[in-house]
Amino acid sequence: MSTPTFALPRQLKAFNLYFDGNSYAGRCDSITLPKIALTTEDHRAGGMDAPKKLELGMEALTASITLSDYDPAIISLIGVDGIALVARGAVQRQGAAAEAVVVNMRGMLTETEFSEWKPGGKSTKTLTYELDYFRYRQVDVEYVEIDIINMVRKIGGVDQLATQRAAIGL
């Protein structure tokens, strides 16, 4: 009888955020990466006993960031498109070396929510970005690349839109 093997989960241990190449170490409280979700529609035609979901593209990519810094350079980016964001994380399984995670994003700052002001209290602001580009790499392997403007959707190394681009001459 063999002994079962198991591994403890990788957990995010540390991260840093870069706006246009500038480090926000010590000033970024949290980052919520975008949800990657497909838009689907039910299809049920003659000869089908139940509906089948048809994939019709993707939902919008939205990221949010909470900063503990009232940096005027960030506040002035509201409505500016093409802002480059890079999140770098260290994920680690107990007893193993840390693995690098690099997330590249590009988009427009569409919303800034300032926190309550009160003396002696921490003040933050939450930034919402509508993204047109998202790439997730872990240990130098690209797992996701979505480039909305150039009609690229690579998941697990497969470009799911390559034949569509070819069909329309892109």
pLDDT tens for residues 150-164?
Answer: 999 999 999 999 999
| Confidence class for position 62, pLDDT limits 50, 70, 90 | very high
Q: Can you list the alpha helix ranges (DSSP code H) found in 39-89?
A: 72-75
Stretch 1-12: mean pLDDT, rounded? 80
Q: Which amino acid is located at 47 in the chain?
A: G
Question: What's the mean per-residue pLDDT of the chain?
Answer: 94
Query: In this predicted structure, what is the pLDDT of residue 1?
Result: 59
| Distance, CA of 151 to chain centre | 17
DSSP secondary structure of 105-161:
EEEEEEEEEE----TTS---EEEEEEEEEEEEEETTEEEEEEETTTTEEEETTEETT
Query: In this predicted structure, what is the pLDDT of residue 5?
Result: 72
Domain boundaries, the chain: 11-36+61-143
Q: How far is CA 43 from CA 40, 47, 54, 78, 164, in A?
A: 9, 12, 7, 40, 21
Q: How far is CA 158 from CA 111, 152, 162, 163, 169, in A?
A: 33, 10, 9, 11, 19
As given in the structure block, the two tokens for residue 48 are 């089908």
DSSP state of 164: H
Flag whether pLDDT at 41 surpasses 90.
yes
**Model confidence pLDDT, tens digit, residues 113-122:** 998 888 988 8
State the Cα–Cα distance between residues 147 and 24, nearest whole angstrom. 25
**Model confidence pLDDT, tens digit, residues 69-91:** 988 888 899 999 999 999 999 99
